[in-house]
Amino acid sequence: MSTPQRVALVTGGSRGIGRAVAARLAADGLAVAVVYRSQQAEADAVVAEVVAAGGQALALRADVADETEVAAAFDAAEAAFGGVDVVVHAAGLMILQPVVDLDLDALDRMHRTNIRGTFVVDREAARRVRAGGAIINLSTSVTRLALPTYAAYAASKGAVDAISLVLAKELRGRDITVNAVAPGPTATELFLDGKDDATVERLAQANPMGRLGTPEDTAEVVSLLAGRGRWVNGQTVYVNGGMA
């Protein structure tokens, strides 16, 4: 009897870490639903790359904070591929401001995407993911690095850690793992936006490895958690090259 193909749904899958995760999981043999909010051309490009390499993929539009749109994305993935085994929630918003100057509208926007979005995606994942599956939420190492201007973003991602660890316990008996993956400074458009070369170099040299992370560094760990790493559950896994 052949083993049914496993299926992954990746939010934020059109760019940055999400894109690298989608590509890696496809290379691992999973069919991949690439969920995007506004970057359709980029999402279509990811799908084209996966298909050209012999894999299966489709692009699905959804605002991760909209429960109706997220449910529709899961419906479409199940209709196309037969089910969902792995959910990687990589969609996120980062706005950096000192607390004293914090724009509360910006705080609300991050709350909606990073916190409400995680609840919405994880709630649907908890209802749909098949036994033997995994739910993986993208967090950040700045929750403990405590870098200036990152308070609001780190607070929203601290919520992601809490949601992940609690959900792992709530899914007792389902054979579904739930973990958060917390990258350090990573060379993505999201991270590099607004930073001058000196700031980027300073952050790179603050790492014992002497460089920024790459999206592929994080995708390697997600691949483990999505596949053979079944004894890692209810954890925040820091993927940051040793930054303290």
Q: Which is nearest to 13 in space by CA: 23, 28, 2?
A: 23
Q: For residue 218, which of 144, 149, 136, 115 has the smallest C-alpha distance?
A: 136
The order of strands in the sheet holding 31-36 is 57-61, 31-36, 7-11, 86-89, 134-138, 177-183, 236-239
The one catalytic residue among 36, 150, 153, 238: 153
Concerning whether 153 is annotated as a catalytic residue, the answer is yes
Residues shown for the chain: 244
**In Å, how far are 59, 201, 202 from 38, measured between CA atoms?**
11, 30, 32
Residue 203 — φ and ψ, nearest 5°?
-70, -35
Q: Which residues of 113-152 are buried (b: 16+ CB within 10 A; e: fewer)?
A: bbbbbbbbbbebbbebbbeebbbbbbbbbbbebeeeebbb
Residue with structure tokens 């909606």? Answer: 112
Q: Cα 11 to chain center, whole Å?
A: 7
Give the C-alpha separation, 113 to 160, whole Å.
11
Q: Give the Cα separation of 130 and 69 in Å (integer).
A: 21
Return the active site residues.
Answer: 153
